[in-house]
A and B are shown apart, each in its own frame.
Chain A
Amino acid sequence: MIKGVGNIFKNGMFQDNPVFRQILGICSALAVTNLLINSFAMSLGLIFVTSFSSLTVSLLRNHTPGHLRMMVQTLIISAYVIIVDIVLKAYFPAMSTALGPYVGLIITNCIIMGRCEAYAQNNKPLPSFLDGVASGIGYMFVLMAIALFREFLGFGSFFGFAIMGEGWTNWVFMIMPPGAFFMLGILIWVANTYIPAKEETKGGAQ
């Protein structure tokens, strides 16, 4: 059991990392990574939605008719996203404005649908929940890595604290969209070079 849990996390975070291995969910990975704090909030929201929708899908898996399962999954995911949206609006209004429509777009984030479809649909609730958490953490890991570089180069700061002093010139380019594309491209390159691919891929989404 312990080994199984370890494997789930290892796969979710590195070998089957949803962002750079399966190229899923990169819309938001690009959009919110100009500041570390935004990426952090977005990742927490995503971990919450992925884990709980995997859990719910898994609990309902024996009661969902096959041809309706996409619809059911979408509704479950939307319900959790609404919770995230309302909580953000109520307690962190500034963060809610900063993330804008990207909170709602968690619904169409393919990572969640992918995990529901590839894993939760055929597994028991607890492993599904952990699988959701692991994929979410894998996503967070990539987001934070991109945001770290973009915020550092673009603003010379770390979580909003200026660390580079007076002489630093901001790379405005890094805050703009092209910077995001280049960062993710380079990250995928590094990941493909240094993290060995698995022998056989099991149940990749899509």
Chain B
Amino acid sequence: MELNPITILIASIFTSNMILANFLGMCSFIAVSKEIKTSLGLGQAVTFVLTGTSVINYLIYTYLLEPYGLEYLRFIVFIITIAAFVQLVEMIIERYVPTLYYSLGIFLPLITVNCAILGVSLFLIIRDYSLLQSLTFGIGSGIGWTLAIVALAGIRQKIKNAPVPKGLQGAGITLIITGLMALAFIGLSGVASIQ
């Protein structure tokens, strides 16, 4: 099935949003979404790493693992690629763009264990994407993730002084808000579809 890369881009931002439709990257989504500024920083870092790793993992899988029948090693290979990529990016940014390093720095190590990164790599293998499709899928998923976490951080800042029941404070109310956001995003499901 040939999907237009642009369709994939739009769909992965809005209708197949990593968090709101696929539940990926929830851990940091709940933990870091207290302020808009930090959420935006984490979102940028995730988008950047997603774009890089989806292309690298696609190339490794297609040209190294598949020809030699080593598909079953993909989990280990992908996780090593992601860890190595994050480490490399951290070193390069620290060396050449120190200002960016100070704003993204603390988030980079967190990203290795963000399930959205590994999830995107696994999805693009399962869905049989081409190189260009993988690239737009990576970018779109990153933007979608950023959109969701920034929106959530905005809402959480607003409800800071609201009288939330005691047991529901923290994670509970955050999940309910996320549920409402997911409900709103379902309204966009006619725009583009990739499932």
Q: Which residues of A contact B (CB under 8 A)?
A: 20, 23-28, 30-31, 71, 74-75, 78-79, 81-82, 85-86, 100-101, 104-105, 107-110, 113, 176-182, 184-186, 188-193
Contact = CB atoms under 8 A, between A and B. Distances in A.
B76 A78 contact: yes
Interface string B66-92: 000000111110110001000000000
Contact of B23 (A79, A108, A177, A188): A177
6 contacts: A24-B27, A82-B75, A85-B75, A177-B23, A178-B182, A185-B168
B47 interface: no
Interface of B, helix, strand, loop or mixed by DSSP: helix
Contacts of B193: none
Interface in B7-38: 20-27, 30-31
Contacts of A185: 168, 171-176, 179
A107 B21 CA distance: 20
Contacts of B25: 27
B175 A108 contact: no
B176 A71 contact: no
Given A27-B25, A30-B26, A189-B165, A79 B76 contact: yes
Contact of B182 (A107, A181, A190): A181
A11 B189 CA distance: 42
Given A104-B122, A105-B122, A27 B27 contact: yes
Contacts of B26: 26-27, 30
Contact of A31 (B23, B76, B118, B179): B23
Given A81-B75, A100-B126, A113-B113, 5 more contacts: A27-B25, A101-B123, A110-B27, A185-B175, A189-B165
Nearest to A21: B171
Contacts of A30: 23, 26
Contacts of B64: none
Given A78-B75, A85-B75, A108 B30 contact: no
Contacts of A182: 175-176, 179
A107 B75 contact: yes
A29 to B, nearest CB: 8
Looking at A109, A180, A181, A186, the one whose CB has the most chain B CB atoms below 10 A away is A181
A26 B19 CA distance: 11
Interface in B175-192: 175-176, 178-180, 182-183, 186
Contacts of A177: 20-21, 23, 179, 182, 186
Nearest to A194: B167
A105 B23 CA distance: 11
A30 B175 CA distance: 11
A39 to B, nearest CB: 13
